[in-house]
Amino acid sequence: MPRYLVELYMSRMGAGCLPQAGARARAGAEALAREGTPVRYVRSFFVPKDETWFLIYEGPSSAAVEAAANAGGIPFERVAELITQP
């Protein structure tokens, strides 16, 4: 299944939200999965210097991943397909 990178700036959420942000991202993906759209939150990482948070999801399309982020209340800037190398 394709992977997607979701980018957002923590200043939009507030730095205090970081501990809950992963749980919100996971909850949004699980909500879509229960409705029949196979989206899965994989992991996230934060770049403090840039106040940028990146989330990685698996899903059938960028639209499905956007819907999962929206369901979790994640105010993202963009969603892009992610290509990784082992």
* CATH assignment of the domain containing 33: 3.30.70.3090
pLDDT, residue 28, reads 95
Please list, in sequence order, all residues whose beta carbon lies within 8 angstroms of the beta carbon of residue 47, skipping any fewer than 6 positions away: 53, 54
| pLDDT beyond 90 at 11 | no
What are the pLDDT digits (tens) for 34-48? 999 999 999 988 888
Task: Tell me the per-residue pLDDT of 57-77, one tens digit each, with 9 for 90 and over.
Answer: 999 999 999 999 999 998 899
Contact 54, 45 (CB under 8 A): yes
Paired tokens of 23: 């749980």
Q: How high is the pLDDT of residue 50?
A: 86
- Residues composing the chain: 86
Indicate the pLDDT class of residue 85, thresholds 50, 70 and 90: confident
Domain count, the chain: 1
Q: Provide the domain limits for residue 55.
A: 3-82
Indicate whether 56 pLDDT > 70. Answer: yes
